[in-house]
Structures are given as C-alpha cells and as structure tokens.
Copies of this chain bind each other. A is one copy, B any other.
C-alpha cells in the first residue's frame, strides 16, 4: 500500500497526516509546536512527517498548506507570519530532496477553499469564494472549478482590498482593508476603543477582549458586542457585493474562528450585501454559509493537492 502525506503549517503549530489512496479518513495524525529551542521548523517538519508515516509504506506525494505569500508553482515561501526561518524558503525542493517524492505547496486559505469546494460546504459549486475570518482575513477563489492563482500564484488576497480609503491601518500597512475592519483581531480592537471611550458593556469585566469573548457577550444581548458584529458584517457585506460583481459566484463560504459565531456575523453580512449589490441577479441563487470542514479544511486541501497534482 502507498500513502499521501498532508501538512498544515501554522505560526504556532504544524500538523501532518497520512492518508490512504482514497477517502478522507487519515491513517495517522500528529501535531507539534512549530518552534522549539532544539531544532529549526525545517528539521521539525521532517520529524513530523516521519512520525505519521507508517513503516513499509511508500509515500506517493506530499501536499503542504502554509500561510503567507508564496509561489505555488515553484514551491517557494516568500514570508510566513511568525516563522522567520521560512523567509524565501524553497519548501517543496527541501521535502523532495529529503523524501525523494513529489511535494506540492499552496496557500492555506486557497487549500481550505479547495477542501470546502470538493468535500465541504461548497460541494457541487463551480464558482466559490471562501473566506477564513480569524486573526486576519484570508481567502481562496474557485473559478470554473479551479483555484485562482493568478500570474505568480499570489492572487485571492481578498482580505486586502480597500473598503474604506480613510479607514484603520491594516497589518500590511495600508488603510481601510477588509482585514483591518472585520478580522477577529480588528473586531476586538474596535470594541476596546469603544470601551476606552466609556461605552457601557458587559465586556468591561472581561479578562481579555477577543472576538470569541465578544461573540459570547453578543449572544447574551450585550449591545456593544452586537454592534461590533453588525459593523464587521456591514463592511464584509459591502466588500462582498463588489466581489459578487467581479466573480459572480454561486456560493460564499466563511471559515475561521470568527465564523463560528454563525448567524451573528452572517445575518449582518446577508443584509449588507443585499443593500449593496447593483442587481438582485447577483444574489438570487447565492448561498452564503459557514465552512463544513473546520480546522481540517487546510489539511484536506493539502491532501487533494497531493493527490491531484501527481495525476496531472
């Protein structure tokens, strides 16, 4: 028997799984912290893969989901947030050299989109937008049943479109990007600012004001917390209307930690997008929903990448 290896690399932990030729039930799964005083993330990645690879098994190929700008065609990571060692790192060359099997790389949001499209919430849709709303906002785009990579593989950065030209500064340094208005970190930032202004809220007693904590307060009726999700949903909906005009998808899938708040975020998005589309044909048959694969989306996508890339 032979297997596929799928890997999901994050700034704090790396996960790997061995999968059989068919199906989506892993044979072995393992996760380890990305950083350790004794070994580089590169070395730890090799150990991690070896730990999930059963003896006497042949690896067919390796698929890797990683964050940050990269070139999926060349397998080079330009920069990875919180992994300084991965700057301009030829990851697939490194793995191919070590394991002597083909290795493939793509952006984690792209691969999550691929996973949701093939076996998740987006099954059966040829035109899909996927957003992961967590600390930042990542995205993946399926056009005509294929991931949109663009000329050099850096397309689909929908978290970095300008929504409010005079809005708050984004992590990337530019004003008013969607991420700066509606990511988990920025929802929390806005609430903290309102609290500092003296706005009344049960969140005043919270140890730490996070998007998760705010969602909890909103579900209990806290007006400031509700307002925070309304505001994020309004901005996402405004941007989404523009994305619908550009891509005319049949489904929009929201994943990532903040999307676990469900209708608290989705309802304001649906209202906002209806207000902002130029023509109801863009929303008539549109599905706006939450992701089905949860934290596994990136790894499932990496598996699909590993399987399909060697078939081509």
Contact = CB atoms under 8 A, between A and B. Distances in A.
A162 B150 CA distance: 22
A140 to B, nearest CB: 12
A160 interface: yes
Given A153-B248, A242-B162, A246-B156, A172 B69 contact: no
B279 A69 contact: yes
A6 B162 CA distance: 39
Contacts of A44: none
Please indicate which of the listed interface residues A150, A158, A250, A285 has the most CB atoms of chain B within 10 Å of its own CB.
A150
A31 interface: no
Contacts of A149: 248
B249 A172 contact: no
A102 to B, nearest CB: 22
B248 A151 contact: yes
B163 A165 contact: yes
Interface in A142-159: 143-144, 146, 148-158
A152 B246 contact: no
A272 to B, nearest CB: 11
Copies in the complex: 2
Interface residues of A, number: 48
A93 interface: no
A212 interface: no
Interface string A126-144: 1100000000000001011
A149 B285 CA distance: 16
A278 B157 contact: yes
Contacts of A207: none
A142 to B, nearest CB: 11
A184 to B, nearest CB: 19
Contacts of A198: none
Contact of A246 (B144, B146, B246, B281): B246
Please indicate which of the listed interface residues A157, A238, A241, A276 has the most CB atoms of chain B within 10 Å of its own CB.
A157
A164 interface: yes
A211 B225 CA distance: 48
Contacts of A246: 141, 155-158, 161, 243, 246
Nearest to A243: B246
Given A150-B247, A151-B250, A156-B246, 16 more contacts: A126-B151, A127-B151, A127-B155, A151-B285, A152-B248, A153-B248, A154-B281, A155-B246, A157-B245, A157-B278, A165-B238, A170-B278, A172-B278, A174-B278, A177-B278, A246-B246
8 contacts: A78-B281, A127-B150, A155-B247, A160-B278, A163-B165, A172-B279, A174-B276, A243-B246
In the A-B complex, the 3 residue pairs with the smallest Cβ-Cβ separation, listed nearest first, are A150-B248, A155-B248, A161-B242
